[in-house]
């Protein structure tokens, strides 16, 4: 229980909201409630929509918010009293920046597109779908319905005329972008160019410090609690256990839609929760190290370096697909495309002398391919932020 609470707490940093000039107001999708497409507490889904203009009027980027998962009744009850489980508690305005930014100078390829931030309030990466609601806890596990209701609403608001479209996200939202990628393409017009972008969503089926895979058991609980199996890609679940189809490395093997992966080889969330989860660190030897890698022993740093090897192996289906893109930096970070500084400015890393904004833009518009892996050791790249970023 304590471990699950820690996992949830560690993801609250992903709820950082930038409020200020140009903030985009919230839209509550009240019409979805009658369809049972609701947040954990039964409230309406929500999103923020900044309309496109000029050459971008028929181009769309749908970006899904991150914020972890809840794995059982207790953690989902806890979550529904936060903005990650109830739209009633969400901030009313959201400042768009990074990949959603509206300035040509910082987001040259997508600044005038229709840009949507889908709020995350289901705790299942938009995969849950259980009809029954237990009156004792009044939890609604309806993430998959929320996703479809939002997409259908956007289609009615003009996305049915899309010429170019991207499904993207950060962290748990980026995982959702991968899981729903082919479905998104199938809904959009056949004439549209449709691709997906994952920022820090490539969670690997990794081994932890004991040699086991805590993250597999964790995802198995998510899938069971939310009834996610039927919403996961059938091309994966037809040959694997449902919980394995929460891992991008298996979904990517049969993915039909082009995918661009932005990830840190030493992803800060994965180091803490996939490699060294508290529940398997019985001696607490990793308690300080995983929060500040400067405090790791030489042996621990060697283990962290070994995690990069696991990441590279898991990325094999992306690296072997010529339509895919990859920006793998050697930073200790998580979610790097959310601000103008990290997306295209001096605050974010370059890989192959390229900022991620240019890499994604060149790949999407097929000006050039981009599959590049950074130097091999932790923070060997001087353009990595000095402090771990978790937007």
**210 secondary structure, DSSP code:** T
How far apart, in Å, are the Cα atoms of 119 and each of 22, 140, 199, 320? 18, 16, 16, 33
Active-site position among 10, 43, 87, 171: 171
- In three-state form (DSSP H/G/I as H, E/B as E, the rest C), the secondary structure along 234-275 is HHHHCCCCHHHHHCHHHHCCCCCCCEEEEEECCCHHHHHHHH
CA 349, distance to chain mean position in Å, is 19
200: closest CA among 180, 172, 223? 172
Q: Which residue has the tokens 């600044």?
A: 111
Q: For residue 180, indicate whether it is catalytic.
A: no
Q: What is the CA radius of gyration of the chain?
A: 19
274: closest CA among 173, 252, 223, 265? 265
Active-site position among 63, 268, 334, 388: 334
Q: Are 201 and 125 in contact (CB under 8 A)?
A: no
Question: What are the backbone dihedrals phi and psi of residue 173, each rounded to the nearest 5 degrees, phi first?
Answer: -75, -35
Q: For residue 281, indicate whether it is catalytic.
A: no
DSSP letters for 139-153: ----HHHHHHHHHHH
How far apart, in Å, are the Cα atoms of 262 and each of 149, 343, 384? 27, 11, 14
Q: For residue 267, indicate whether it is catalytic.
A: yes
Q: Give the separation between CA 280 and CA 286, rounded to whole angstroms.
A: 10
Active-site position among 267, 329, 374, 391: 267
Q: Give the separation between CA 195 and CA 184, rounded to whole angstroms.
A: 9
CA 313, distance to chain mean position in Å, is 20
Q: Give the separation between CA 289 and CA 300, rounded to whole angstroms.
A: 8
Q: Are 297 and 239 in contact (CB under 8 A)?
A: no
How far apart, in Å, are the Cα atoms of 343 and each of 52, 96, 108, 243, 354? 20, 12, 11, 32, 11
Indicate which residues carry an active-site annotation. 171, 267, 334
């Amino acid at each position: 229980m304590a471990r699950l609470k820690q996992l949830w707490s560690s993801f609250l940093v992903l709820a950082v909201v930038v409020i200020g000039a140009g903030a985009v107001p919230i839209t509550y999708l009240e019409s979805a409630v009658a369809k049972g497409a609701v947040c954990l507490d039964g409230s309406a889904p929500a999103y923020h929509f900044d309309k496109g203009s000029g050459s971008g009027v028929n181009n769309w980027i749908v970006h899904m918010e991150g914020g972890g998962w809840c794995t059982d009744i207790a953690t989902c009850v806890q979550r529904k009293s936060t903005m990650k489980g109830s739209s009633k508690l969400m901030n009313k305005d959201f400042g768009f920046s990074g990949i959603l930014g509206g300035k040509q100078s910082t987001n040259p390829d997508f600044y005038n597109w229709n840009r949507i931030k889908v709020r995350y309030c289901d705790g299942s990466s938009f995969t849950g779908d259980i009809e029954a609601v237990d009156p004792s806890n009044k939890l609604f596990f309806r993430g998959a319905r929320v996703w479809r209701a939002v997409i259908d609403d956007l289609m009615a608001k003009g996305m049915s005329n899309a010429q170019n479209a991207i499904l993207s996200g950060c962290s748990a939202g980026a995982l959702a972008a991968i899981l729903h990628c082919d479905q998104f393409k199938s809904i959009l017009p056949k004439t549209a160019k449709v691709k997906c972008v994952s920022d820090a969503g490539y969670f690997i089926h990794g081994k932890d410090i004991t040699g086991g895979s805590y993250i597999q058991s964790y995802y198995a609980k998510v899938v069971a609690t939310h009834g996610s199996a039927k919403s996961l890609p059938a091309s994966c679940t037809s040959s694997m256990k449902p919980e394995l189809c929460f891992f991008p490395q298996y979904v990517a093997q049969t993915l039909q839609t082009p995918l661009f992966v932005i990830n840190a080889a030493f992803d800060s969330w994965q180091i803490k929760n996939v490699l060294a989860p508290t529940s398997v660190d019985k001696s607490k030897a990793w308690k300080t190290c995983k929060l500040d890698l400067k405090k790791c022993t030489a042996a621990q740093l060697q283990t962290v370096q070994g995690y990069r090897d696991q990441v590279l192996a898991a990325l094999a289906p992306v690296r072997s697909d010529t339509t895919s893109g990859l920006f793998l930096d050697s930073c200790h970070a998580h979610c790097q495309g959310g601000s103008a500084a990290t997306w295209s400015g001096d605050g974010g890393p370059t890989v192959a002398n390229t900022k991620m904004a240019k890499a994604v833009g060149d790949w999407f518009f097929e000006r050039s391919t981009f599959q590049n892996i950074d130097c091999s050791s932790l923070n060997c790249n001087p353009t990595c932020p000095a402090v771990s970023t978790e937007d």
